[in-house]
């Protein structure tokens, strides 16, 4: 029998357009309310079948510096979890082409993990039922259910409770152009949450306030640009002064408003219809140096 052909799975990055951390739970995790959208930019995960199911462990290759290719990587964790849940597919070599910067708050690792799940489902002799896939994704990480959904979504709880937008609401997001940039450093998520805890309760957004702002946008009473807030922004901008420095330059010279995604360090700005991002690219390079990541993308 001939081996199955290789398949490629797109692993989109994401942006938290609105992110309100509403408090700390008894289990030590935090509750949040977030409007999240995937991008048309991200990684590619190739699955190369190596042999029949049960013939050995899956493998991972990645040429990007600093990306672990052992059991620490969420791609292999996802594969182990999928097989443990009863999934049966050929043993594979995962080849990860990394574009989404790490330590950026863009969900790259979580998206790669979901791409692994999707790829194994495509190669499976008998794929797992969708409810089991949802449970697997939730167990892998807070952003994973979003990537399984694959569309702009409202996340609540730790990120596992999803509410899908109405068609008209999605239409107001899909296709919007954004500038995305990341300085030459990341921000550790545990550090960011630790700073929120240290500043509590003032650092948290009351849940009722967060829901009211989101509802106003959904009713069309609030423009998207006026919705864009992030509980981590005061924390990150207060510590890493390169972030507010660029925000001021983009506002003054390009008319763009810079916002943090996730816990950072990546930021984004909405590009007006017909806008030219070339001047913004120059400002990012000038402020953060050639090692900075900068790109344009569209909301998915």
State yes or no: is 143 an active-site residue: yes
Q: How far is residue 33 CA from its own chain's centroid?
A: 15
The sheet with strand 259-260 has its strands ordered as 259-260, 267-270, 177-182, 293-298
Q: Which residue among the candidates 14, 43, 58, 112 is catalytic per the annotation? A: 14
Q: Which residue among the candidates 58, 70, 143, 276 is catalytic per the annotation? A: 143
Cross-strand partners of 182? 293
- Do residues 258 and 269 touch, judged by C-beta distance below 8 A? yes
Beta-carbon-side half-sphere exposure of residue 143 (alpha carbons within 13 Å): 26
Counting every residue, how long is the chain? 300
Computed over its alpha carbons, how large is the radius of gyration of the chain?
Answer: 20
DSSP 199: T
Tokens 């983009």 sit at which residue? 250
Residue 148 class from Cβ within 10 Å (0-12 exposed, 13-18 middle, 19+ buried)? buried
Per-residue tokens: 56 = 């050995």
- SS3 of 204, please? coil
DSSP 3: P
Angle at 16 between CA 208 and CA 116, to 5 degrees: 125
Hey, which residues are catalytic here? 14, 143
């Amino acid at each position: 029998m001939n081996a199955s052909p290789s398949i490629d799975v797109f692993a989109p990055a994401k942006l938290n357009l609105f992110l309100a951390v509403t408090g700390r739970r008894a289990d030590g995790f935090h509750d949040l309310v977030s409007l999240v959208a995937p991008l048309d930019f991200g990684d590619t995960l190739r699955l190369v079948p190596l042999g029949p199911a049960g013939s050995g462990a899956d493998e991972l290759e990645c040429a990007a510096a600093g990306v672990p290719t052992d059991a620490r990587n969420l791609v292999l964790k996802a594969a182990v979890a999928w097989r443990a849940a009863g999934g049966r597919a050929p043993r594979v070599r995962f080849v990860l082409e990394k574009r989404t910067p790490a330590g950026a708050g863009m969900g790259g690792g979580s998206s790669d993990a979901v791409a692994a799940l999707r790829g194994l489902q495509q190669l499976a002799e008998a794929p797992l039922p969708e409810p089991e896939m949802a449970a697997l994704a939730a167990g892998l990480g807070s952003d994973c259910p979003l990537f399984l959904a694959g569309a702009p979504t409202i996340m609540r709880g730790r990120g596992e409770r999803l509410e899908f937008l109405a068609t008209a609401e999605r239409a107001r997001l899909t296709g919007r152009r954004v500038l995305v940039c990341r300085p030459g450093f990341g921000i550790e998520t545990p550090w960011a949450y630790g700073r929120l805890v240290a500043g509590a309760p003032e650092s948290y957004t009351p849940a009722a306030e967060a829901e009211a702002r989101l509802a106003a946008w959904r009713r069309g009473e609030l423009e998207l640009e006026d919705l864009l807030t992030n509980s981590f922004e005061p924390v990150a901008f207060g510590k890493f002064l390169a972030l507010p420095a660029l925000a001021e330059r983009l506002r003054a010279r390009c008319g763009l408003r810079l916002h943090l995604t996730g816990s950072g360090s990546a930021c984004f700005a909405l590009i007006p219809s017909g806008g030219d991002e070339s001047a913004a690219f120059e400002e990012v390079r000038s402020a953060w140096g050639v090692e900075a990541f900068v790109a344009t993308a569209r909301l998915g």
